[in-house]
Structure 1
Amino acid sequence: MSHKQISRALGALTSAGVLAGALSTILALPAQAATVTDIVNLARANLGKHNCDINSLGGRGFNGSCTPEEWCADFAKWVWQNEGAQVDGLTAAAGSFYTYGQRKGTLHTDGGYRPQPGDAVVYNYAGSGYADHVGLVTEVRGDGSIQVINGNFNGTTASNSMVAYSSGTGRVGASIAGQTISGFTSPVGVGSVPRRVGVLRNGDVKVKEGNLDSAWTTQETLGTKFKVDGNRIAALRTNGVLAVKEGGLDTPWRIVEEHVTDFSLSGGRIGALRSDGTAEVKEGLDSAWVMEDDAVKQIAVSSNRVAVLRADGTVKVKEGGLDATWKHVEDRGVQIALTNSRVGVITDSGRAEVKGGNLDAPWFAEEDNAVQLELSSNRIGVLRKDGVFRVKDGALESLWTTVDDHGRQIALGGSRIGVVRTDGTVWVKEGGLDATWQQVDDNCTEVELTQE
């Protein structure tokens, strides 16, 4: 149980008048270390909030942000602190994140360092604990760019600025929003994102964590579809109930919606397609659903985008907040795929097309005779009608590598590739495209992998 979970539980028990009798039970529960995914999700849950708004945990502001001061460091410290990271030595000064990294040994000033989600990015460090700005890395993309969430951003004063995104090249010495990156500092006391593999076998959702030889843990027995994303697992049950769990594999399920026929889970967002054809999205388990569109056939979400495939084949994508404006990108879609930097579609002719960068970019024709298209941060995977499974690394125009020729369903996740073959066996490889396959299960219909 994280500090945040304990705080919520204590608050609920205090209001119910049963704190004394239950305190020992709470404190006896095993600790669940927060992960960088928790940091990212908490930062995202406060997008659009101003310095003295009610934050996503129910308090006002972010540490000292209600005072008339620059509050980028207040926000970053508040996020780290509420997810269990060590924050000793951090102050309202952006440069304190730089000196924190020096003291803790987690400061990265090498231009070759690849930042990680949850890292603090410090700008224009001038020495003596002074810097112009600090934000939190929330996504690292395959092209080397990063997404950052910032407190005290997009405004002219401390009171009219807000929590907002920025993005750019994720390298020391590069500039984002006119400020130069001096270094990245990793939090101490926070775990990494769990590497998970999941399969669906006769209604059983099974997940393993860590290496491919780890033991399976049965998560659900009435599943029709599931997803794994960071420290979250979502399962659609046979009765149309969508359940999500966040944290360890032994965390209890939370029912988030009913009458669901399909869903998407990625980047802290949950997208649900209801039986009446309406598509809705929420950010965080405790957030309210936001209705996005109707007459929808498929929904896909990422941390900064939402895409819908409508029943008439129209594909629309929005970027930014859930109230952003839709962009019409395709008329003949039958399947969609989405990341923060790429959009993919299979058209009614069976052609798989992908566009990278902004939503106005042209489509790049990737493959014909496609039945499934998968995107990860730096890979594209296509399953053809004849069972051939092909993957490419890097640019849209990179060469394909055929990795299997008996595929029925495919998955991509960071450095891992998964396939359910036509005989029901599940195989996963990790590393390069020429890595060796390892069988992890049989009699399955679906495999899913966490992004790294």
Structure 2
Amino acid sequence: MIARTARLVVNLAVALAVMTAALVMGAGTSHAATRAQIASIAEAEVGNSESNGGCKKYGPCTTTPWCAYFASWVWRTAGVSPVPNTAVARGVGLWGQQQGLFSARPAGGIGNPEPGDIAVYGTPANASGGHVSIVTAVHSNGTITTIDGNYGDKVARRVIDPRTARSGTDSLLISGYVKPKGLNAANGDLHVLTTVGGQAFHNMRYANGSWSGANVSDPSGAITDTAEAGASNGDMHVP
């Protein structure tokens, strides 16, 4: 029993190491994001604007309302998959509903915003007049910090009360939050690695209970042994 437990620990450690290496080398982006990464990427964009041209990497920001372009760009850059496929702000909420990722804000309530979520102003619909922003912090007094693309023609940081804040050309309330899917193990996902014939097979159980399916992580067939060492801060190193 002890040997089996030790092997499981080793396998899980190797899985985390393989996934980390893949991310560092840029070998994959799906299901790689953390909420902290999403928030950090959004925060770093504050100040980009139409006037200084910093918004052009998000989409056609000088000719089209671009808050949805910005939110999708942040998720995509962080490694979230899937990302909204619409430039319509309220359409982001509709997309979230269709994906099963939309969490409605109850009337008079805050809802359950988390860093990395997309806050949607206006009920989900393929209609204009709304706005979207990236939640980067949730505070004990009920307010949240958001990073908003196309707010005053720039990327701006705001601290708002989600119960009363209004935005968009129709001055709409927040209807809810679109949650990023497939976040990594720091957010409830479980990486599992098994070895067969010297090959490492990676599988991942997402936080929603679904599985990615086993894939070969190392096709060389050269894995014969592993070792790990723990650090005092909780990190694990696997050579």
- Normalising by structure 2, we get a TM-score of 0.60
Q: Distance in 2 between matches of 1:5 and 1:162?
A: 30
Higher normalized contact order (CA 8 Å, seq sep 6+, divided by chain length)? 2
* Mapped contact 1:99–1:129 kept (Cα < 8 A): no
- 1:150 aligned to 124, 148, 151, which one? 148
Residue aligning to 1:99: 94
Q: Deviations over 1:95-137 (max 9, x none)?
A: 2210121112111114252211111111123733545110010
Preserved CA contact (<8 Å) 2:94 2:124:
no
Matching of residues 48-447 of structure 1 within 5 Å: 48-51=47-50, 61-111=56-106, 112=109, 113-125=111-123, 127-154=125-152, 161-171=153-163, 174-176=164-166, 179-191=172-184, 193=186, 217-218=230-231, 250=237
Amino acid at match of 1:49: N
Instruction: Write 1 or 2 for the structure with the bigger share of helix.
Output: 2
Q: Verify the 8 A CA contact 1:118 1:186 in the aligned structure 2.
A: yes
The residue number in structure 2 matching 1:414 is: none
Structure 2 counterpart of 1:81, one-letter code? R
**How many pairs were matched up?**
174
Which structure features the higher share of strand residues? 1
Amino acid at match of 2:165: S
8 A Cα contact 1:144 1:169, kept in partner: yes
Q: Secondary structure at the match of 1:95?
A: helix
CA separation of 1:89 and 1:147: change in aligned 2, threshold 3 A: closer
Residue 99 of structure 2 aligns with an amino acid whose one-letter code is: K
Tell me if 1:41 matches 2:31.
no
- Quote the residue 1:268 is aligned against: none
1:439 corresponds to which residue? Answer: none
Which residue matches 2:191? Answer: none
Q: Aligned letter for 2:46?
A: L
Instruction: Tell me the distance in 2 between the aligned counterparts of 1:100 and 1:51.
Output: 26
Paired residues of 1:125 and 1:131 also in contact (CA < 8 A): no
Change (3 A) 1:100 1:54: same
- What are structure 1's unaligned runs of at least 5 residues? 10-25, 155-160, 196-214, 221-232, 234-247, 252-452
**Partner amino acid, structure 2, of 1:50:** S
Which of structures 1 and 2 has the bigger CA Rg?
1
Secondary structure, aligned partner of 1:165: strand
* Superposed displacement of residue 32, structure 1: 7.9
Identity %: 29
Cα deviation digits, residues 184-210 of structure 1 (max 9, x gap): 111112237569xxxxxxxxxxxxxxx
CA contact (8 A) 2:105 2:174 kept: no
The answer on whether the counterparts of 2:30 and 2:79 sit within 8 Å (CA) in structure 1 is: no
Q: 1:277-315: CA deviations, max 9, x gaps? A: xxxxxxxxxxxxxxxxxxxxxxxxxxxxxxxxxxxxxxx
The CA distance in 2 between the partners of 1:30 and 1:180, in whole Å, is: 33
Per the alignment, do residues 140 and 216 of structure 1 end up closer, same or farther by CA in structure 2, a change over 3 Å counting?
Answer: farther
Alpha-carbon spacing, 1:53–1:186, altered in 2? closer, same or farther (3 Å): farther
Aligned partner of residue 114 in structure 2, secondary structure: coil
Moved over 6 A (4+): 29-32
Q: Give CA deviations for 1:12-44 in whole Å, capped at 9, x if unaligned.
A: xxxxxxxxxxxxxx64x9988220110000001
Counterparts of 1:6-45 in structure 2, within 5 Å, are 27=27, 33-45=32-44
Letter aligned with residue 145 of structure 2: Q
Q: Amino acid of the residue matched to residue 132 of structure 2?
A: V
Where does the alignment leave 5 or more consecutive residues of structure 2 unmatched? 1-18, 189-227
